[in-house]
Amino acid sequence: MAKSRAVRESATTFSRLRQAHPDAHCELGHEGAFQLVVATILSAQATDVSVNRVTPGLFAKYPDAQSLAEASLEDVQACINKIGMFRQKAKNITKTAKMLVDKHGGRVPSTLDELVELPGVGRKTANVVLGVAYGSPEGVVVDTHVQRISQRLGWTKNTTPEKIERDLMKLFPRSDWDPLSHTLIFHGRRICAAQKPACAACSLTDACPSAFRAENVGRKPPRQRGKPAKKKGSKKKLAKKKAAKKKAPSTKKAASKKSTTGKKVARQKRTNSIARGKSAAGAR
């Protein structure tokens, strides 16, 4: 069966990207699958650089699942307190270590279904471990760099990681899934930045539909600051409200009207009383 034009073109572009970044690899420091899964859990909403600053000390004290499973939570927190959300991450990696010991004999499982059962491990983390440690990913790791560049290259029109991953899995064979993410990550860090992509220094401008306007493609929309605008109702609802206001007088108006009516009645009573008195006097 002949390959589609999109598949052929994306394969050619990826080949050129790999030539531009032949050293692309997972930059999380680790030795073995256990340390990789721990480092990947720690990397959530944190840079690889910041994770690599804390893991040497952590792994020196707790090099395997058994030792980390027996560690106190306070000690683990002290080892990783220089990265964001270190308290929650400390809970996740200690719980993961205990589950690995209790359920898997201290070894990291090699299937997606088993990996995502571990605390702090989602599909993305699981595929990092499967691709890097076992060479058998079950999908493409879609981080912010992969998402942005795959959109700029025209490989996907979707905006969510799940849908982007499906698009990339259709375009590329399984053997490319792991190196694809690493190569796009390196390209994103070195050339195709989010705000100021270096299109002039990129070797793919002839193949990139977003060249020299990439800053407008693949970026997250700016955050809305300040108070959100009040939602306006439909024209029919507004018309109904105005009509109701006209029909129903305000409390002040109603009170004022009631008071005026009462005064008129009192004056009329006094007038009638005076008239009756005069009438009675004349009769006498």
Q: How many CB atoms lie within 10 A of CB 174?
A: 12
Q: Catalytic site residue 124?
A: yes
Domain holding 187, by residue range, is: 5-24+141-216
Residue 74 belongs to some domain of the structure:
yes
- Over the stretch 44-92, which tens digit does the pLDDT of each residue have? 999 999 999 999 999 999 999 999 999 999 999 999 999 999 999 999 9
Q: Catalytic site residue 23?
A: no
- Residue type at 217 in one-letter notation: V
Residue 231 belongs to some domain of the structure:
no
Total structural domains in the chain?
3
Q: Looking at the whole model, is its pTM more than 0.85?
A: no
- Average pLDDT across the chain, whole number: 87
174-190 vs 144-152: helix crossing angle, rounded to 10: 90
- Band (pLDDT 50/70/90 cuts) for residue 241 is confident
User: CA 183, CA 120: separation in Å to the nearest integer?
Assistant: 25
Please give the average per-residue pLDDT across 17-43, as a whole number: 97
Amino acid 1: pLDDT: 41
Which of 195, 216, 237 finishes a domain? 216
Residue in 64, 95, 98, 143 annotated catalytic: 143
Residue in 124, 167, 176, 178 annotated catalytic: 124
48-61 vs 32-42: helix crossing angle, rounded to 10: 130
Residues 42 and 111 in one domain: yes
Amino acid 15: pLDDT: 97
Residues 146 and 72 in one domain: no
